[in-house]
């Protein structure tokens, strides 16, 4: 059973550009969430999607956006990149929207974004 | 605002030692607490999930306890091995939409052969 797949794994952008990151959840998983990991701030929640609807959003500026498609694949977009956006962006999927002991989050390996 | 703290930030032990990692959170109104492991450059692997109504969970050599009223959790690793070397993160969820986690800063563990 394939895990959570994130593409691209590594990318370099310059300030002012925009970037789109992709996440394919585990087959059958309908809930996808995104996290940003930086050395200074650690892991921070960006947003969560379930059945193509954004269910929760973290405290990030509007430059950060996302969406989920009918096949549960998700993309996140960051516009007008800043140096501080350099981070590991992690996607996680879950079978359903609610938590249970068996319904744990499975994380992908991440997309490492470097902004120059 | 929920804040999660992990102590120590880094730990180096010889192989075979039993060790305890600590996690504290400021708001006891949590729904569950999870422990994750992260290897360098990799994503997170879920180790244990404790619901707020539970006191502990065990998986192999790992045991996690939760004291919600005092805002603390511990992860106990028995008979540590070099393969346990990784960063361990705890995270709390404040509602049953458990994707919105608040993470601690992690404990970087090195187990020396």
What share of chain A has pLDDT > 70, as a percent? 92
Q: Is B100 on the interface with A (CB under 8 A)?
A: yes
Bridge partners for A93 per DSSP: A32, A106
Interface residue B103 vs chain A (CB under 8 A): yes
- Please name the member of B31, B49, B103 whose beta carbon is closest to the beta carbon of A43: B103
* pLDDT one-digit tens code per residue, B82-113: 999 999 999 998 776 656 889 999 999 999 99
**Of B18, B34, B35, B10, nearest to B76 (Cα)?**
B18
Interface test with A, best of B50, B66, B94, B99 (most A CBs within 10 A): B99
Element (H or E) spanning A54, and its range?
strand A53-57
Instruction: Find chain B residues with C-beta within 8 A of A112's C-beta.
Output: 41
Cβ(B24)–Cβ(B15) below 8 Å: no
Residue A74's closest CA among A48, A103, A94, A38? A48
Whether the CB of A44 is below 8 Å from some CB of chain B: the reply is: yes
Burial class (CB in 10 A: 0-12, 13-18, 19+), A1: exposed
CA distance B27 to chain A (A): 17
Please give the Cα distance from B52 to B45 (Å, whole number): 21
- Residues B38-53: tens digit of each pLDDT: 998 888 999 999 988 8
């Amino acid at each position: 059973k394939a895990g959570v797949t994130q593409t691209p794994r590594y990318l370099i952008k310059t300030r002012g550009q925009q970037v789109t990151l992709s996440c394919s959840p585990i087959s059958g998983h309908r809930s996808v969430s995104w996290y940003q990991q930086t050395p200074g701030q650690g892991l921070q929640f960006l947003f969560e999607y379930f059945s193509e609807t954004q269910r929760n959003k973290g405290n990030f500026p509007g430059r950060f956006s996302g969406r989920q498609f009918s096949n549960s694949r998700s993309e996140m977009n960051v516009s007008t990149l800043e140096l501080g956006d350099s981070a590991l962006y992690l996607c996680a999927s879950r079978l359903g929207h609610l938590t249970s002991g068996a319904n744990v989050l499975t994380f992908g390996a991440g997309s490492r974004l470097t902004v120059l | 605002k929920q804040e999660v703290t992990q102590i120590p930030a880094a730990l180096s032990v010889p192989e075979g030692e039993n060790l305890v990692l600590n996690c504290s959170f400021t708001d006891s109104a949590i729904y569950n607490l999870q422990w994750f492991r992260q290897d360098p450059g990799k994503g997170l692997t879920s180790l244990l999930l404790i619901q707020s109504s539970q006191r502990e969970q065990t998986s192999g050599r790992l045991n996690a306890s939760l004291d919600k009223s005092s805002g603390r959790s511990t992860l106990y690793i028995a008979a540590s091995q070099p393969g346990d070397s990784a960063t361990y993160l705890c995270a709390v969820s404040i509602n049953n939409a458990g994707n919105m986690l608040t993470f601690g800063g992690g404990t970087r563990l090195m187990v020396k052969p």
